[in-house]
Amino acid sequence: MTDAVASAGAPHARPSYVTVMWGLVLRDTRVLGRTLLPFISRTIMNPLLFVFVFTYVFPRIGQGFQSGVAGSSFATVLVPGLVAVGMVFQGVMAVAMPLSIELSATREIEDRVLAPLPVELLAVEKIVFGAVQGVLAGLAVFPLVYFIPSDPPHLQVPNWPLLILMILLASLTSGALGLALGTIVRPQHIGLMFALVVVPITFLGCVYYPWALLHTVRWLQMLVLINPLVYMTEGLRATLTPEYPHMPVWVIVIALALATLVLGAIGVRYFVKRTIS
């Protein structure tokens, strides 16, 4: 009887931070499952159009692009860039867009703040879940580039651990970028964000050409180094098409790690500021 009373009066153990974060990830996954069709649509549509128009329609009408690399098809050069773009778009859409709603007048974010977790870790969970969706978006590109182009790409992966590392770093950078944009940009300006940020980093992200080929436009080659998408594309190019020009791998790894830390720190700071204000 005494043991029963003591057990009843004893405080319950608080769940660990890892358990709480995992619960939030499962919650977000369930919500994503309810909107599976929109998720698939926004994941597939952009790379599908790029692959269909640039690697199927244009060659068929005699307007094919030059790859800029001797002996290679444009589809081969395009694949790493499309995978990177798919991850960036999904990272932004998965994190920035929901945040613009949760931090707006509805204040839906307050439901998450009630979780037994520091506010900073709530922001980190957003990055992690955005990264997971980014990986799925990147993987979804491969079936498209194998079955649609008139001249299928020639890919080779001599180092699988390096490819996995690049995908993880790129996905985390995408999630961190989504958090930074979603917390800095006000909901009423979210459409402007795509015009002024997402579209420029896409066209200047070395998606359609290796970074090394920009040497003829030296000022632009230096300027695009502030674009995290450049390092994502070059990292995937180094692992999927290693025979083509690409940045040194150690430079790419350091740049993506720094981009994740810097963008993540900015996103966490503004997330806390807008959440507790």
Q: Domain range holding 239?
A: 14-276
Q: What is the pLDDT of residue 151?
A: 75
- Phi/psi of residue 204, nearest 5 degrees: -110, 25
Q: Are 88 and 131 in contact (CB under 8 A)?
A: no
Q: What is the pLDDT of residue 227?
A: 94
| Structural domain contains residue 213 | yes
| Structural domain contains residue 233 | yes
| Structural domain contains residue 9 | no
Q: Which tokens belong to 254?
A: 């350091």
Q: Are 233 and 201 in contact (CB under 8 A)?
A: no
Give me the number of domains the chain comprises. Answer: 1
Strand stretches in the chain, DSSP E: none
Q: Are 15 and 116 in contact (CB under 8 A)?
A: yes
| Structural domain contains residue 7 | no
Q: What is the pLDDT of residue 220?
A: 93
pLDDT one-digit tens code per residue, 179-228: 999 888 877 777 777 778 888 898 899 888 889 989 999 999 999 999 99
pLDDT one-digit tens code per residue, 135-182: 988 888 888 888 888 777 888 888 899 999 999 999 999 999 999 998
| Structural domain contains residue 50 | yes
Contacts of 79 (CB under 8 A, 6+ apart): 141, 142, 145, 153, 155, 236, 240, 241
Does the pLDDT of residue 8 top 70, yes or no?
no
| Structural domain contains residue 109 | yes
- What pTM was estimated for this model as a whole? 0.84
| Structural domain contains residue 175 | yes
Q: Are 105 and 261 in contact (CB under 8 A)?
A: no
| Structural domain contains residue 264 | yes
